């Protein structure tokens, strides 16, 4: 069985976007190249030479396919990339013109498992943030090689995303380069056992109560709404960075308008969606319907997840399990769907509101099963 190796250039704050001079959403690109040297380049070349297959996500493939065919370098890195077999995972690409490239479609677990079962050497994944996140979730990565650069970038796509499942790895090798870049090599590892320290430093109920009282957390009952754009990655690639940024600006403008109209509070934008709170579930629902309709008028489809429960106010932000449940409900929503918890269904009023049961599901990281419903307006 072939191994799948993930190589990532990563900042101290976990960003992997824009290590070269491809576009970064905030113009913070080229950070890896500024700290590159012959030592790092040789490591990367040796790794690409040792692996006989390159696996990429669509966005990274398009960036590399536009750049590498016309590059010439002394190390031979470009020659290696241009000639080695390449696979791009995409259900939207219609053609791949870069030499020796094959498009892979379908279920990711199946196509990668089949690729690993074929004869040959190791498979290398580089960049490809969305693909890397999916491979991590499916447990298909056999080795992590993280080149950690001594810089805090402040924005950009991160390798390990919010709410990812807990994954245990073990350190198998380290290397420090002259520029201060550190190579950390990990393999999947077992979950550590309980030990003396997990027992000695476990919190007692009394300690927890003391902390909660000291923090004086502002807890309130609220309805939380998360939204995001359907197939945002595909749309961004179709439009290009400049037009995509304009579309996001329009999305944010309409979201602010609709949330205010329904007497909600826009807590924050999330890149391709919003987080908002309301004092009543019916208002959150009507805002979601109105926002979905308004954005459809500018060619944007959204989905939403809504839950009513206790939240914690943390300055201008909100947190707590109520927020997490709404986020999980959003993850269960299909295209243009508005998914709500049973609490919202039970509390919402309005003869024009209908709720179709979706069944009970376990929401990742949330205890127990939760009944979810697809909301619509007659």
% pLDDT > 70, the chain: 99
Say which residue the tokens 């966005």 belong to. 59
The per-residue pLDDT for range 229-260, each reduced to its tens digit, is 998 888 888 888 889 889 999 999 999 999 99
CATH code of the domain containing 260: 3.30.70.1230
Looking at residue 217, its pLDDT comes to 63
Looking at residue 95, its pLDDT comes to 87
Identify whether residues 276 and 137 lie together within a single domain: no
Q: Is 207 within the bounds of a domain? A: no
Identify whether residues 230 and 364 lie together within a single domain: yes
Asked which of 170, 188, 206 is the last residue of a domain, the reply is 188
User: What does DSSP assign to residue 12?
Assistant: T
pTM here is 0.61
Identify whether residues 157 and 54 lie together within a single domain: yes
Mean pLDDT of the chain: 90
Looking at residue 29, its pLDDT comes to 87
Identify whether residues 64 and 184 lie together within a single domain: yes
User: What does DSSP assign to residue 15?
Assistant: B
User: What does DSSP assign to residue 368?
Assistant: S
Residue 59's SS3 state is helix
Q: Is 195 within the bounds of a domain? A: no
Q: Is 199 within the bounds of a domain? A: no
Looking at residue 306, its pLDDT comes to 97
Q: Is the pLDDT of residue 278 over 70?
A: yes
Question: Closest by alpha carbon to 286, among 221, 364, 338?
Answer: 338
Identify whether residues 130 and 256 lie together within a single domain: no
CATH code of the domain containing 18: 3.40.430.10
Identify whether residues 313 and 240 lie together within a single domain: yes
Q: Is 198 within the bounds of a domain? A: no
Q: How far apart are CA 61 and CA 63, in angstroms?
A: 5
Q: Are 244 and 236 in contact (CB under 8 A)?
A: yes
Q: Is 197 within the bounds of a domain? A: no
User: For the chain, what is the domain count?
Assistant: 2
What domain range is 25 assigned to?
Answer: 4-188
Q: Is 210 within the bounds of a domain? A: no
Q: Is 73 within the bounds of a domain? A: yes
Identify whether residues 242 and 330 lie together within a single domain: yes
């Amino acid at each position: 069985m072939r191994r799948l190796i993930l190589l990532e250039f990563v900042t101290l704050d976990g960003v992997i976007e824009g290590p070269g001079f491809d576009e970064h959403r905030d113009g913070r690109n080229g950070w890896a190249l500024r700290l590159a040297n012959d030592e790092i380049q040789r490591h990367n070349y040796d790794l690409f030479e040792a692996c006989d297959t390159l696996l990429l996500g669509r966005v990274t493939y398009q960036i590399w396919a536009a750049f590498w065919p016309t590059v010439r370098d002394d190390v031979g890195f470009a020659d290696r990339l241009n000639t080695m077999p390449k696979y791009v995972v995409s259900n939207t690409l219609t053609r791949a013109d870069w030499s020796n490239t094959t498009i892979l479609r379908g279920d990711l677990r199946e196509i990668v498992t089949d690729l690993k079962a074929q004869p040959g050497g190791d498979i290398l994944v580089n960049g490809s943030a969305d693909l890397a996140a999916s491979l991590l979730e499916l447990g298909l990565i056999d080795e992590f090689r993280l080149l950690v650069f001594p810089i805090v970038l402040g924005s950009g796509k991160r390798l390990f995303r919010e709410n990812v499942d807990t994954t245990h790895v073990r350190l198998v090798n380290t290397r420090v380069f002259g520029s201060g870049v550190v190579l950390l090599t990990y393999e999947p590892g077992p979950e550590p056992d309980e030990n003396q320290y997990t027992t000695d430093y476990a919190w007692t109920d009394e300690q927890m109560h003391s902390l909660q009282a000291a923090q004086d957390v502002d807890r309130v009952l609220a309805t939380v709404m998360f939204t995001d754009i359907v197939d945002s990655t595909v749309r961004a690639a179709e439009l290009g960075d400049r037009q995509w940024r304009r579309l996001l600006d329009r999305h944010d403008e309409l979201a602010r308008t609709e949330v205010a109209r329904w007497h909600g509070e826009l807590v924050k934008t999330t890149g391709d969606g919003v987080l908002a709170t309301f004092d009543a579930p019916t208002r959150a629902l009507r805002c979601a319907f109105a926002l979905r309709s308004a954005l459809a008028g500018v060619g944007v489809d959204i989905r939403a997840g809504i839950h009513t429960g206790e939240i914690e106010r943390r300055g201008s932000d909100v947190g707590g399990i109520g927020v997490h449940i709404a986020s999980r409900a959003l993850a269960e929503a299909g295209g243009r769907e508005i998914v709500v918890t049973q609490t919202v269904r039970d509390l919402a009023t309005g003869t024009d509101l209908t709720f179709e049961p979706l069944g009970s599901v376990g929401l990742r990281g949330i205890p127990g099963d939760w009944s979810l419903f697809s909301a619509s307006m007659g």
